A and B are shown apart, each in its own frame.
Chain A
Amino acid sequence: MCGIAGLFSKSSTFEGTLGTHLSSMLVELADRGPDSAGVAIYRDPAPSGSCKVSLFSPDPDYPWIDLAVGLAKAFGDVGEHTVIASHALLVVEGDPAEIEAWLADCHPELRVMSVGQSIEIYKEAGDPRRFVERFSLAGVSATHALGHTRMATESRVTTEHSHPFSSGLDLCLVHNGSLSNHNRLRAFLRREGIRFQTDNDSEVAAGYLTWRLSQGADLEQALQGCLTDLDGFYTFAVGTADGFAVLRDPIACKPAVMSENDDWVAMASEYRAIATLPGADDARVWEPEPGRVYVWQRERVA
């Protein structure tokens, strides 16, 4: 199974309560995925020339302050770091690719969850209800966010195997379904220079998007490519700096519902997650068509 959720704010008032509503959606989807939970949150863009880095350490006493000092020495300015449960968020002045390379080289004990201007990824093995409390999701204000509750089928239950999977700067993917050709595709993508942290099938879908985008495709083209290059069942939600996209495989074995009103756009595996949102009773509700890419994007501010 697995549950996925996407929430996009259309009003600044709703932004302030987005975390509360995303929490309710995840709790409602906990039955679909009791193994782990995760979110990608888009908020507070880093200043130009800097990027936000989300990191995970299994060590509850990890010396994040030492890491911040190390980063500041290697790069430019490092803002005050924020520790949230097993994760830390740092804003670092420097080139994202160089920062990632430095982290892989100097701190192989850490997992980079996401890098970008506004993305933050938090995820953890365990019950989704506990996750929303541990990561204080209810207090979060954000422009948009994705969430996932996992029922593992293809690979182990660990924090690393949890969703969302980052698929490039400010990009991430959550997946409900299972892919059949992930081993061969992973081998191909590795030869193309894409790095993988796990043997998870969904991470391959994220890596595939990263690769297509690096080849010059836009997000819509990259998702269209999934229809021919991925074999298996999927409903994907993909988070971007400006919004999110949804794609179901042409057979559409995995569910998806979308809904929209003046304050928000939402997608979820089941309507009951959307039913928790304010005004859901009167919102437009529909089922996304199989094999069609849906994209929501906020207007870019110059």
Chain B
Amino acid sequence: MSTDTAPLDGALASSETHITPTKAYAPSGIRWRMMVTIAWRMMFHNKLKMAGTLIGVVFAVVLSNQQAGTFLGLIKKNTMFVDYSGADLWIVSPSTLTLQATKPMGISALYTARSTKGVAWAEPLLYGGASIQLPAGGTEPIQFVGTAAPRYAGGPWNVVAGSKSALERPNTMIFEDSERERLGGLNVGSIREVNGFKVNVGGITWGLLPFGPSFAFAEYELARRMLKIDSDQTHFVLIGLEPGANPEAVKKAIMERAPEVKVVGREEFRSMIVSFLLRRTPIGITFGTSTVFALIVGFVIVSLSMFSAVVDNIREFGTLKAIGATNGDLAKIVITQSITFALMGSLIGLAAITRIAAAIRSPKLGVLLPTQMLVGTTFIMIGMCVAASALALLRLRKVEPGMVFR
């Protein structure tokens, strides 16, 4: 029976009629377990507040990953040509800052490369802007690539209709699938006019859409004529090394023999492109700012929620302190809650962003979510939530156990 009027006389009569105080104090492990239990109970007791805090973390996870993933997607779009070119080294003109149409350089660099020890192959590459005449009138820009047969280094990849070998046929080009409608609904076998030349569509690629006009490929000689480049000039030279060759040594050897050009490795060229994007375009600032703002907004929401949770439970914290818990114990509660919010919010947020990324994935917009970024996000969220609990921790330090009597 447990009513208010239960007769308690005798109930407390026990054999414990002499008090022997003990100064036993729970070891760290037991205190941690207890504080973790209290932390979780407090969190789940107020589900509305918990949902509010989680929304803050999920918002930060989804938005920051969406922005960072889109940024990585754009970087990937701009560096994929270098990644898929198959070249270990690139000969470029000294003024080259990124992969873009530059002033042509002498073709002698190609022969210099081919006669350098350690070089397995070297091929010229033309890279410039062109325009395609649309059937209904008007023109559209394309990123024109001239690649030399039969290796087609820097040539088309992801060919989904026709074949790369179609470029061997006269006046034949390969275009990008995702831009077919924009380029006038072209198909394999269509005829189009590019830079004033009638060309046949010999193949279609998928996903070869940089941050700008889509790639269109032609055999080197055709491209040279269409871009009006002299036969003794080229834009780039792509180099494949012999197995075991030292890239740095080959690079040095070529530059000694052809001081008028610059030789860069694949990774170096990638870095140059990324650096160009970050420094010379607003991409870095735009995406960086929105990623940071997503984190700041999440930080503020979590910070205020956790502070408010401490204020709401201030009497309970005061009671815990009065009955023997230390500031360290109360900090364990808040830190446990912040880490739990971070892990739960990251789990929900990452599940959401991976589904969103899959749903919106297209050649035009790719949200890249590498595993390292997803794992890193979780750690960043833990750091953010623990930092966000600083206000709450400061408030807890000021909790006087004596408040329980007021």
**Pair from one complex:** no
Interface of A toward B, CB cutoff 8 Å? none
Interface of B toward A, CB cutoff 8 Å? none
